[in-house]
């Protein structure tokens, strides 16, 4: 079963975020707190939205997805960016990931979004294969660029007149 996350799901979402980060060999990079997630997902002006995947038989939480709207200047329309998709190892292969993605695709269609995009690590062949199997185009020609930490601070300091 796929359902919208509630504020009561925040501790479990945070646990799964850490599980995902461990799988992606980046556990030390997770800094979000439950309070930050509560504000981001359920505050007055949510920054993102979450879905929960539950096992139909046990009702146990087996996965989650976090997404937010984006905008394309080329199409002039909104789209969806999937920030996280995670299914716990013991629940993989049972259709939970596909169900989460199908639910998100249906949300895109119902809201008039014309793109549904996400990133995948280049070494994650099982995920890449899965995404291709559902018809996703893996766009190898695009590279992600990121500024953070000292680099972000240095460039921000060069803003004429500040912000």
Catalytic residue among 64, 86, 113, 131: 131
Cα–Cα distance between 45 and 97 in angstroms, integer? 27
What is the Cα 46 distance to its own chain's centre?
A: 14
CB 53 within 8 A of CB 61: yes
Cα–Cα distance between 82 and 69 in angstroms, integer? 9
Cα–Cα distance between 6 and 146 in angstroms, integer? 30
* Residue ranges of E strands in the chain: 2-4, 49-54, 61-72, 77-87, 116-118
Q: Catalytic residue at 86?
A: no
Q: Hey, what are 84's tokens? A: 């996280």
Cα–Cα distance between 156 and 163 in angstroms, integer? 9
- Active site residues per annotation: 131
């Amino acid at each position: 079963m796929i359902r919208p996350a509630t504020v009561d799901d925040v501790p479990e979402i945070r646990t799964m975020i850490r599980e995902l980060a461990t799988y992606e060999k980046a556990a030390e990079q997770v800094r979000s707190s439950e309070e930050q997630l509560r504000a981001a997902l359920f505050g007055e002006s949510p920054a993102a939205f979450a879905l929960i995947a539950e096992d139909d038989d046990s009702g146990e939480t087996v996965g989650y997805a976090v997404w937010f709207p984006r905008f394309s200047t080329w199409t002039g329309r909104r789209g969806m960016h999937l920030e996280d998709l995670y299914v716990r190892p013991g629940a993989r292969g049972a259709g939970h990931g596909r169900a989460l993605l199908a639910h998100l695709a249906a949300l895109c269609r119902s809201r008039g979004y014309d793109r549904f995009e996400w990133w995948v690590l280049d070494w994650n062949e099982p995920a890449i294969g899965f995404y291709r199997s559902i018809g996703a185009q893996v766009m190898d020609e695009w590279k992600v660029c990121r500024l953070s930490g000292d680099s972000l601070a240095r460039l921000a300091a060069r803003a004429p007149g500040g912000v």
